[in-house]
Amino acid sequence: MKNQFQILIVEDEAPNREALAMLLKKAGYEIQVAASGEEAFERLNKTTFDIVVTDLFLPGINGIEILKRVKKESPDTHVLMITGNASAETAVEAMKEGAFDYITKPINFEKLKLLMAKALEKSLLVAENTYLRQQLRGKYRFENIIGTSLAMQNLFSRMEKVVSTDSTVLILGESGTGKELVAKALHFNGPRREKPFVAINCAAIPADLLESELFGHVKGSFTGAIHDKAGKFEQANGGTILLDEIGTMPLHLQTKLLRVLQEHEIERVGGSKKILLNVRLISATNADLENEVRLGKFREDLYYRLNVIPIQLPALRERREDIALLAHHFLLKNCQELKRPKMTIAPEAMEALENYSWPGNVREMENVMERSVTLAERSILHVEDLPPQFGAAKPQPGEGNQGMPSLSPKGIDMERYLAGLELHLIREALKMANGVKARAAKLLGIKRTTLVEKLKRATGQTD
Ligand SMILES: Nc1ncnc2c1ncn2[C@@H]1O[C@H](COP(=O)(O)OP(=O)(O)OP(=O)(O)O)[C@@H](O)[C@H]1O
Ligand SMILES: [Mg+2]
């Protein structure tokens, strides 16, 4: 069978170009060549390539610009960079922009062929949807969301309730609390699991491009719209779309999104054909959307449409019971990845972890453990092996320190301190009462409804 992979080679030096073309032709690929970035752009207008092999340094339009354009128009095309001098910086920039890999001159053809085979294998895997999804399903089962605290139990039970439905979900929580993880778990455990899961980070895309990213565009609808392009909504059809950092969406797009949600159909930018949508919508934000609504920055009607089922993720400091569990989980995971023998955490190091405030939540825990396992020389992790902030870890106000707070010259945030103390007492009472809220309330001399209210405010749980 003829090999249907299409390869574009961009190289200004003729001998190199010819040599590459000959070699890859021999390997059975369909080859097109371009002697400049400009020529490459012309070829890109006509053909969708599987792989673009491009020199980084070209006289006019350079390799990075080619890479950027390819990745924007055809994200599944792999770009291999050839760099003249081994300038690590530009190579890193290329990788950041989404290059598959880079190879330095003089080109080692065997290595190049190997890289190409790897890239093509990856494309095949992407095409082999079911295989990939099965793998993903393993990764995003609820069991992969770690936590046994009350807040997490509430989260799981809420997820159970919505996982098999099409309800619109709004996931709220600080950075690193697992919003994307929860969104994926809902998709890959639900009835749409065989269909696409498409995520778009509204904050990462410039406002003027967001509309076409979401809804697609037709050729010629604006400068740079060289092809017809399907937007994320269309790509997600039949499956789930995650609109991440929805709070940053500009107002005019909010209006458009609202219309799409009401009418269940989209039109590509500049197009007139209506496309019927069957998409489950999950949105996520770490912003206080209600406040954004009050400030007039977020449409109230859209807010209500998105917030059908709110799922609030607790901050890690609000579920300190889970810290040890998560620390061990990431410790072992990193040991496995680094192929080191299993490690343990010394009690004083665990205490430091448990007392820390974790502003970056689970993501920070993940990073701390990766760093610590990588750098630790012994098999027991000590405080010295943790990043500097743990050396000075002190108990958080109201969490664990039973005495009166000492007021430092810097002052103290009394509201927060008192809220922390209150939450601590409620937790203790709940523990003592085996989780029975009425009994816990009695222990504290407050009404059950008051306890529920306070707990709700502190952890964001509504159950
Ligand atoms: N409960 C959890 N159990 C295991 N891993 C978790 C948990 N919560 C988060 N993680 C991991 O922490 C990292 C951050 O999670 P995720 O990207 O879902 O957070 P996020 O809330 O979307 O953050 P951001 O607001 O910064 O985008 C991921 O690697 C995720 O797998
Ligand atoms: Mg996220």
Give 322-372 pLDDT, tens digit per residue: 998 899 889 989 998 888 888 888 888 999 999 999 999 999 999 999 999
Burial (Cβ within 10 Å: 0-12, 13-18, ≥19) of residue 12:
middle
351 and 426 part of one domain:
no
190 and 96 part of one domain:
no
Please provide the DSSP assignment of 308-373 as one string: SEEEEPPPGGG-GGGHHHHHHHHHHHHHHHTTPPP-EE-HHHHHHHHHS--TTHHHHHHHHHHHHH
Single out the residue of 398, 325, 405 nearest to residue 355, CA to CA.
Answer: 398
Residue type, 108: N
Predicted pLDDT of residue 42: 94
Question: Tokens in use for 207?
Answer: 């406002």
Question: Average pLDDT for residues 46-64, to the nearest whole number?
Answer: 91
Ligand number nearest CA of 184 is: 1
341 and 451 part of one domain:
no
Model pTM score: 0.59
Residues 97, 71: contact at Cβ < 8 Å?
yes
204 and 255 part of one domain:
yes
143 and 270 part of one domain:
yes
Cα-to-centroid distance, 390 and ligand 1 (Å) = 21
Q: Which of 87, 108, 127 is the last residue of a domain?
A: 127
Structural domain contains residue 271: yes
Q: Which of 341, 358, 390 is the last residue of a domain?
A: 390
89 and 147 part of one domain:
no
pLDDT at 403 over 60: no
Structural domain contains residue 346: yes
Structural domain contains residue 337: yes
Number of domains comprising the chain: 4
Residue type, 198: V
240 and 337 part of one domain:
no
CATH number for the domain including 445? 1.10.10
Predicted pLDDT of residue 87: 66
Q: Whose Cα sits closest to atom 12 in ligand 1?
A: 363
Question: Average pLDDT for residues 430-450, to the nearest whole number?
Answer: 87
Structural domain contains residue 210: yes
Residues 280, 328: contact at Cβ < 8 Å?
no
Question: Average pLDDT for residues 395-409, to the nearest whole number?
Answer: 53
Cα-to-centroid distance, 103 and ligand 1 (Å) = 33
Reported as a pLDDT band with limits 50, 70 and 90, residue 408 is: low
CATH number for the domain including 85? 3.40.50.2300
What would the pLDDT profile of 271-292 be if each residue is shown by its tens digit? Answer: 888 999 999 999 999 999 999 9
99 and 168 part of one domain:
no
Cα-to-centroid distance, 328 and ligand 2 (Å) = 23
pLDDT at 168 over 90: yes
Can you tell me which atom of ligand 1 is nearest the CA of 366?
A: 12
Burial (Cβ within 10 Å: 0-12, 13-18, ≥19) of residue 185:
buried
Mean pLDDT of the chain: 86
166 and 305 part of one domain:
yes
Mutate which of 180, 187, 332, 368 for ligand 1? The one with the most ligand atoms within 8 Å of its CB, which is 180
Single out the residue of 242, 238, 230 nearest to residue 194, CA to CA.
Answer: 238
- CA dihedral in degrees (267, 268, 271, 272; nearest 10)? -10
Q: Which of 295, 312, 329 is the last residue of a domain?
A: 312
11 and 117 part of one domain:
yes
Residue whose entry in the numeric block shows the structure tokens 């089922």: 309
What would the pLDDT profile of 20-44 be if each residue is shown by its tens digit? Answer: 999 888 877 889 999 999 999 999 9
CA distance 138 to 144: 8
Can you tell me which atom of ligand 1 is nearest the CA of 180?
A: 18
H-only helix segments in 229-288? 232-235, 251-263
Range of the domain at 450: 414-459
Single out the residue of 191, 204, 190 nearest to residue 232, CA to CA.
Answer: 204
Structural domain contains residue 402: no
CA distance 166 to 187: 10
CATH number for the domain including 323? 1.10.8.60
Structural domain contains residue 177: yes
CATH number for the domain including 152? 3.40.50.300
Beta-carbon count within 10 A of 353 CB: 24
Question: Tokens in use for 20?
Answer: 């590459």
Structural domain contains residue 246: yes
Ligand number nearest CA of 185 is: 1
179 and 266 part of one domain:
yes
Question: Average pLDDT for residues 210-231, to the nearest whole number?
Answer: 89
356 and 273 part of one domain:
no
Question: Tokens in use for 283?
Answer: 């949105």
Structural domain contains residue 409: no
